Structure 1
Amino acid sequence: MTDQPALKPQRPFFSSGPTAKPPGWDASKLQTESLGRSHRSKLGKARLKHAIDLTRELLGVPDDYLVGIMPGSDTGALECAMWTMLGAGPATVAAWESFGNVWIQDAVKQLKLADLTTLTADYGEIPDLSQIPQDHDVVFTWNGTTSGARIADTDWLAPDRKGITINDATSAVFAQEMDWPKLDATTFSWQKIMGSEAQHGMLILSPKAVARIESYDPAWPLPKLFRLKKGDKLNRAIFEGATINTPSMLAVEDYIWSLEWAKSIGGLSAMIARADTNAAIVKNWIEATPWLRNMASDPAQQTNTGVCMLFQGDWYESLSDEGKANVPKTIAAKLEELHVGYDFNGYRDAPPSLRIWCGGSVEAEDIRRLLPWIEWAFAELQAGNL
């Protein structure tokens, strides 16, 4: 029998979204002057613009790109990009996990694109992206939030490609470098890497994306929340803090605090380094643990954020499908009960698995303390004690 570990994580937050608040976070540290004020007041717009400017600065977004706050989290921002830009020519939507498959369903069932190609791969794998024609608009997920597989590079995107490139980067930004010159519409939510509150997304547009929006009117109706144009031109006020609908100023202040924290520790490079360190701890442990394997088999495609792992071995394989599904659920539930680790069960649509968030808001020592507890819970499960 494995002895119960002595140390628990000080902050047992390992959810892949909303993710852990940055170290030192406390609600009392948030600025509250904007609360109870109109988001269209001078102060409200200034705080929204500050969030936009900090995002641009930290991510190194090119000066001629636009950064805007959108409703509906990453989903709202990504679907806005699809609804306003796709349909002008052939398109390919590539998916290798849950959210990418949602974008495929949007393209097939909602937009009903006439000239559409879909590329898919199983969880942990990535399809051959080099087969996507350069004249196609393309929608892809940079980092598989629910599979732990990320693209290894952007060599498959030509610098002068004709098509628009729409990039769902929600669990990649602030942890992985974005190849901005090859990206036309990039989206993410505050709730992922920065550990901020949900329901707000970001939309980053290249000059090429702006040209597409201004020159193209899609055949389908656009909900108000997706309307980026004023007349025949892009409504640039959206990218200066005049949001389409009313945002939560409390969530805005929470996001600003997280951005300022990231800046204080060294910015993007420090955030990437923290994620790399955290992910290496988990990956090395998986490799040394015979009853686990990384869901992403190719090391070049293994994420440094939501690391996903599958169970293996004779005991596990002897279980029924229901028994296999219960293994990660039971381990995660027991460690939540003991306040050791919260919300690290695999995604509901993914194969039975565990998923540990390793983004920069998580402390490495907390991850080190979590892993022996997983070993203990697995041993207890095998022994019939859980």
Structure 2
Amino acid sequence: MTMKPAARPACAHFSSGPCAKIPGWSPHLLNTESLGRSHRSSLGKARLKRAIALTREVLEVPDTHLIGIVPASDTGAVEMAMWSLLGPRPVDMLAWESFGEGWVSDVTKQLKLRDARRITAPYGELPDLATVDFDHDVVFTWNGTTSGVRVPDAKWIDADRRGLTICDATSAAFAQALDFEKLDVVTFSWQKVLGGEGAHGVLILGPRAVARLESHVPGWPMPKIFRLTSGGKLIAGIFEGETINTPSMLCVEDYILALEWAQSVGGLRGLIKRADANAAVVQGWIDGRDFASNLAQLPETRSNTSVCLTLKADESVPKKMVKLLEAERAAFDIGSYRDAPPGLRIWCGATVETSDLEALMPWLDWAFAQAAAG
């Protein structure tokens, strides 16, 4: 009989979104001067510009690309890009998990683009990237949050492409190296790798995307919340801290705090190193168990953030494990996504301490033994 571990993780927050706050987080660390002030005041704009500047620095976004803070989290940023940019060319829609499938559905059922091609793969696999036509626009997720499968790099993207690449990078940004020379649009939200608060997204546009915005008029009505141009010209203020709708300055300050913490741990390289070390702990546990497998079949496609596991057991076992671990306060919110195969999903992003994952692993053994025994 597997004994119940004596020690618990110091922080049991392993949710894949919203994710764990930065180590040592406290509301007392937040700069509160902007709270209760207009986001259009000189102070409000300065803090929003600070968030944009830190994003560029930490994420290593080249000066050729614009960065804007937009409403409705990563979902809002992706929808804004698709509604504003798609239409002039056929589009290849890549999907290998639920969020990618969501973008496929929106393009085919809402925008009703006839020249939309689905290139898909089941959970655990990548589609055949060699079949992508870069004369088309291409929409894809860099890291499949609900499958734990990521693209290994950007080598498959044609540098001389004629279409645009629109990349949902919400669970990859700040943990995986994004090649901005190959990405015309990048989106993410604050509540993933940096553990920020929800409801705000980031939209990064390269020069090819800006050129498309200023030369293309969408063939459908554009909600105000999606509008990036006025009179055929880019609304530059969006990328200078003038948000489309009112942001939460409390969330902005929390994001700035997380970005400053990211600088303190070595910037992008430090963040990637932390996520890699965390994922290695979970993979090491998987490798030592005959009842657990990484849902991502190929090592080079395995996520270092949303690590997804399947278990050789009745599908009720992972659900029982989740309840047992929550009751013991050893792990919160590690069940697989509702559309994914039954299993566990353990967040390994940079705000998670490696020592907490090391403490969690014996609890997985205990919970599995308890759940499998009935």
TM-score (norm 2): 0.99
Matched residue, 2:230: 230
5+ residue gaps in structure 1?
317-323
CA shift, 1:185, in A, is 0.5
SS at match of 1:180: coil
Task: Quote the Cα distance in structure 2 between the aligned partners of 1:30 and 1:186.
Answer: 27
Matched residue, 2:28: 28
- Tell me whether 1:127 sits opposite 2:117 in the alignment: no
Task: Quote the Cα distance in structure 1 between the aligned partners of 2:351 and 2:96.
Answer: 26
Task: Quote the Cα distance in structure 2 between the aligned partners of 1:303 and 1:114.
Answer: 33
SS at match of 2:118: strand
Matched residue, 1:218: 218
Identity %: 58
SS at match of 1:23: coil
Task: Quote the Cα distance in structure 1 between the aligned partners of 2:156 and 2:78.
Answer: 21
Matched residue, 1:348: 338
Give the alignment of 1:235-314 within 5 angstroms: 235-312=235-312
Task: Quote the Cα distance in structure 2 between the aligned partners of 1:381 and 1:265.
Answer: 38
Task: Give the letter aligned to residue 132 of structure 2.
Answer: I
Listed one character per residue, the Cα deviations across residues 332-355 of structure 1 (whole Å, up to 9, x for unaligned) are: 111111111101111111010101
Task: Give the letter aligned to residue 73 of structure 2.
Answer: S
C-alpha contact (below 8 Å) 2:74/2:202 kept by paired residues: yes
- Number of residue pairs aligned between Structure 1 and Structure 2: 374
SS at match of 1:188: strand
- Tell me whether 1:113 sits opposite 2:113 in the alignment: yes
Matched residue, 1:185: 185
Give the alignment of 1:12-91 within 5 angstroms: 12-91=12-91
Task: Quote the Cα distance in structure 1 between the aligned partners of 2:322 and 2:101.
Answer: 26
Matched residue, 2:97: 97
Task: Quote the Cα distance in structure 1 between the aligned partners of 2:39 and 2:255.
Answer: 15
Task: Give the letter aligned to residue 337 of structure 1.
Answer: A
Task: Quote the Cα distance in structure 1 between the aligned partners of 2:65 and 2:235.
Answer: 14
Matched residue, 1:319: none
SS at match of 2:242: coil
Task: Quote the Cα distance in structure 1 between the aligned partners of 2:372 and 2:89.
Answer: 55
- Tell me whether 1:332 sits opposite 2:341 in the alignment: no
Task: Quote the Cα distance in structure 1 between the aligned partners of 2:88 and 2:46.
Answer: 36
Indicate the RMSD between aligned Cα atoms, in angstroms: 0.7
Listed one character per residue, the Cα deviations across residues 41-73 of structure 1 (whole Å, up to 9, x for unaligned) are: 000010011000000011111112100001000
5+ residue gaps in structure 2?
none
SS at match of 1:182: coil
TM-score (norm 1): 0.96
Task: Quote the Cα distance in structure 2 between the aligned partners of 1:113 and 1:126.
Answer: 24
Return structure 1 stretches of 4+ with deviation > 3 angstroms.
none
Matched residue, 1:320: none
CA shift, 1:218, in A, is 0.7
Task: Quote the Cα distance in structure 2 between the aligned partners of 1:153 and 1:374.
Answer: 31
C-alpha contact (below 8 Å) 2:317/2:372 kept by paired residues: no
Listed one character per residue, the Cα deviations across residues 251-275 of structure 1 (whole Å, up to 9, x for unaligned) are: 0001100000000111000000000
